[in-house]
Structure 1
Amino acid sequence: MGFDVSVALTWILFLALFPMSFFWLRRAWRIGFKRDFSEVALKHGQSPAAPEKFATVELLINALAGGMLVYVIYLVVTGSAEYSTWSAVAGTTIWCKLFAGFGLSRHAHMKVGAKTVTRAS
């Protein structure tokens, strides 16, 4: 029996769901219950001027993504979903969370009314 790359990647994806869901749910917990806004909408490691303004959206993004990954873990462990189904749901959840977090951080750091400097050619 030889080494099968697809089986290895399947296990890597499944095992990666555990720390991702843990960190995302922990971040939601910190924002929602501990009122810790230090990780809200970070851009280059810097918080926006008013992170509490964006805390609810960041909380929802992290809670929904973390909860969805916990549900995917449940589906895999109970055998309720085929590989193509759970891997598609997990992959879509991961990408949507990353894009939503990126968009929120860029929106939170947007400078309203700032003049843009253009370079002369």
Structure 2
Amino acid sequence: MTISVAITWILFLGLFPIAFFWLRRAWRILVERDFSEVALKGGVSPADPEKFAPYAAAINLVAGGIVVAVVLMIVIGGVAYDIWSAIAGSTIWMKFLADYILRHHAHPTMWGKKKQAASKDRP
């Protein structure tokens, strides 16, 4: 067994928990209406997590669906290693990037005078 075979198996087996967690998160947001994991930044929810919930659900649902499709393509044997590893890797990175963008959109950074004025207004 070479190291590349071991890494291939690790990537393939890692797709199962990834798909499970992403699809479970989409289920919690869409069906259970649980917004506790929507756009967290530093463990803190945004001011209105329900506003960002559809976007978080879509990100998780699409990414989880792609990973499940990749697993099915691997099991059926209809796709080469280079193709499925590229699809899986790109999906993982795009999911992280989309979550990052959503998180920073949900928690806007205040710059300059606005930030100073907001801190003076606080008792």
Task: Tell me if TM exceeds 0.5.
Answer: yes
Residue 44 of structure 1 deviates from its aligned partner by 1.1
Specify every segment of 5 or more residues in structure 2 that has no aligned partner in the other structure, as ranges.
Answer: 117-123
Relative to the length of structure 2, the TM-score reads 0.89
The match for 1:99 is: 97
SS at match of 2:115: coil
In the alignment, what sits opposite 1:115?
Answer: 115
Shift of 1:47: 0.6
TM-score between the two structures when normalised by the length of structure 1: 0.90
1:79 to 77, 80, 102: 77
- What is the rounded CA distance, in whole Å, between the counterparts of 2:61 and 2:10 in structure 1? 23
Q: Which residue in 1 is equivalent to 2:18?
A: 20
Partner of residue 39 from structure 2, selected from 38, 41, 50 = 41
RMSD of equivalent CA atoms: 1.3
Counterpart-to-counterpart distance in 1, 2:67 and 2:76: 14
Match of 1:51, as an amino acid? P
For residue 115 of structure 1, give the secondary structure of its aligned residue in structure 2: helix
Whole-angstrom distance in 2 between the partners of 1:111 and 1:18: 36
Residue of structure 2 in register with 1:56 after alignment = 54
Compute the displacement of 1:23 (Å): 0.2
Q: How many residues align?
A: 114
CA distance in 2, matches of 1:46, 1:61: 19
- Name structure 1 gaps, 5 residues minimum: 117-121
CA distance in 1, matches of 2:57, 2:70: 20
Alignment partner, residue 119 of structure 1: none
Give the 3-state SS of the residue equivalent to 2:85 in structure 1: helix
How many angstroms apart in 1 are the aligned matches of 2:54 and 2:79?
A: 32
Which amino acid is the alignment partner of residue 9 of structure 2?
W
